[in-house]
C-alpha cells in the first residue's frame, strides 16, 4: 500500500463521538485556556487566544456542529488548524473535548457521509471510517466555514 492510499488524521472527541481532521491542516494542539471574548459574534465564537504573539480566533466546535455545549475539563484542548477558504487560509482554534491520537486510515475504508441518522449537518462530513470500537467522522473543515461566515467571525485571522 502506498502513502497516497492513506490519510493521517488527528482524532478527537466531542461527547461520545469521535471525529478527525487531516493532520496536514493541524498547526498545533494546545491546552485549553479561556479566550478573550469578542462581542456580537455567533454563539460558537468564543473569542481570541494568544499563540506566540498571534491572535487566533477560537470556536466552540461542539456548538458549530450543532451539539450541546459542555464545560471545559482538564482534557479539553484547542486544535489550531489552517482552513483553506477560497484563496485565503483561516487560522482557527477549535475547542474539542479531548484529543485522542494521530491515526492512519486507508482511503478505501472511508465511506460516504450518511444522509440520515446524524445529529450534525452531513455536508460537514468528508467521510466515515468504521473501526472495531465504532465510527470516526472525518470532518470537512473547508465546508464548515463559508466565505460570508469567515468575514463575520475572523477577518483578522487570515494568514498572509
pTM of the entire predicted model: 0.84
How many Å is the maximal CA-CA distance in the chain? 50
Q: Which has the closest alpha carbon to 79: 63, 96, 66, 67?
A: 96
Asked if 14 contacts 134 with a C-beta cutoff of 8 angstroms, the reply is no
Whole-angstrom Cα distance, residue 63 to residue 27? 22
- For 79-121, how does the pLDDT look when each residue is reduced to its tens digit (9 = 90+)? 999 988 878 888 999 999 999 999 999 888 888 876 655 555 5
Q: What residue segments make up the domains of the chain, in order of their start?
A: 3-159
Per-residue pLDDT of the chain (160 residues; tens, 9 = 90+): 445 689 999 999 999 999 999 999 999 999 999 999 888 888 899 999 999 999 999 999 999 888 899 999 999 999 999 988 878 888 999 999 999 999 999 888 888 876 655 555 567 788 898 888 888 999 888 877 755 555 555 544 444 3
* CATH fit for domain 3-159, picks 2.60.40.10, 2.40.50.180, 1.10.3720.10, 3.20.20.70: 2.40.50.180
Amino acid at each position: 500500500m502506498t502513502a497516497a492510499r492513506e490519510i493521517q488524521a488527528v482524532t478527537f472527541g466531542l461527547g461520545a463521538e469521535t471525529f478527525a481532521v487531516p493532520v496536514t491542516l493541524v498547526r498545533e494542539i494546545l491546552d485549553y485556556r479561556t479566550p478573550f471574548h469578542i462581542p456580537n459574534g455567533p454563539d460558537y465564537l468564543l473569542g481570541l487566544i494568544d499563540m506566540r504573539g498571534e491572535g487566533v480566533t477560537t470556536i466552540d466546535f461542539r456548538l458549530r456542529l450543532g451539539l450541546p455545549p459542555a464545560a471545559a475539563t482538564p482534557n479539553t484542548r484547542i486544535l489550531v488548524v489552517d482552513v483553506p477558504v477560497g484563496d485565503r487560509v483561516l487560522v482557527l482554534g477549535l475547542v474539542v473535548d479531548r484529543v485522542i491520537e494521530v491515526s492512519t486510515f486507508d482511503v478505501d475504508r472511508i465511506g460516504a457521509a450518511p444522509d440520515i441518522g446524524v445529529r450534525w449537518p452531513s455536508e460537514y462530513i468528508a467521510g466515515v471510517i468504521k473501526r472495531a470500537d465504532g465510527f470516526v467522522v472525518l470532518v470537512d473543515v473547508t465546508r464548515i466555514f463559508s466565505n460570508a461566515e469567515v468575514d463575520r467571525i475572523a477577518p483578522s485571522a487570515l494568514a498572509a
